[in-house]
Amino acid sequence: MVAKRSTEPSRRAIFKVWGMLLVAVALGGCVSKGKANAQARAAFMAGQQQAMARMQQAQGPSVTINGEVRNHVVPWTEGLTLAKAVLAADYCGAKDPGQLLIVHNGIATHVDPKQLLSGVDIPLQPGDIVQLVPQAAPLK
């Protein structure tokens, strides 16, 4: 008489497969949707910064203008000021900016737009980043 072989997996085989799955999940790590989105945003921003740095190195010294402008990279020249850089960047916002920030060597300095419009100008240095922040919408 020939013994019948079961086609069902043994309990031992099932536990072995589950064990391997648990190890794979533990080593791979579970990530929440929010954490995955945050990691994706961080990777995107890092890529953007690297691309911007490469463009600036290829073009020589420059100033980066973030905000509603057509030209985000303005070549730095001796005597370049905030007003000249905003003009060269071709500001295209519907209203005057609500805030101006200048980042130099990682330190942000707030500039009152009214100060700039009254004729007080600020010199820029190579590598500076200018952030043009739009005016906040009025509350209804």
The reply to whether 42 falls in a domain is yes
Q: Which residues, in sequence order, are CB contacts of 15 under 8 Å at separation 6+?
A: none
- Residue 97 and residue 116 in one domain: yes
Name the DSSP letter for residue 78: T
The pLDDT, as a whole number, for residue 5 is: 54
Same domain for 70 and 55? no
For residue 129, the enclosing domain spans: 60-140
In a domain, 4, yes or no: no
Q: What pLDDT is attached to residue 94?
A: 85
CA angle 106, 46, 54 (to 5 degrees): 80
The pLDDT assigned to 3 comes to 53
Are 52 and 103 in the same domain? no
> Rounded CA gap, 116 and 122, in Å?
8
Question: Is 29 inside a domain boundary?
Answer: yes
Q: Are residues 90 and 139 in the same domain?
A: yes
Residue 35 token pair: 């954490």
CA 28 – CA 33 distance, rounded (Å): 15
Domains in the chain, number: 2
Q: Percentage of the chain surpassing pLDDT 90?
A: 38
Which stretch of 5-19, 23-37, 123-137 has the lowest confidence by average pLDDT? 5-19
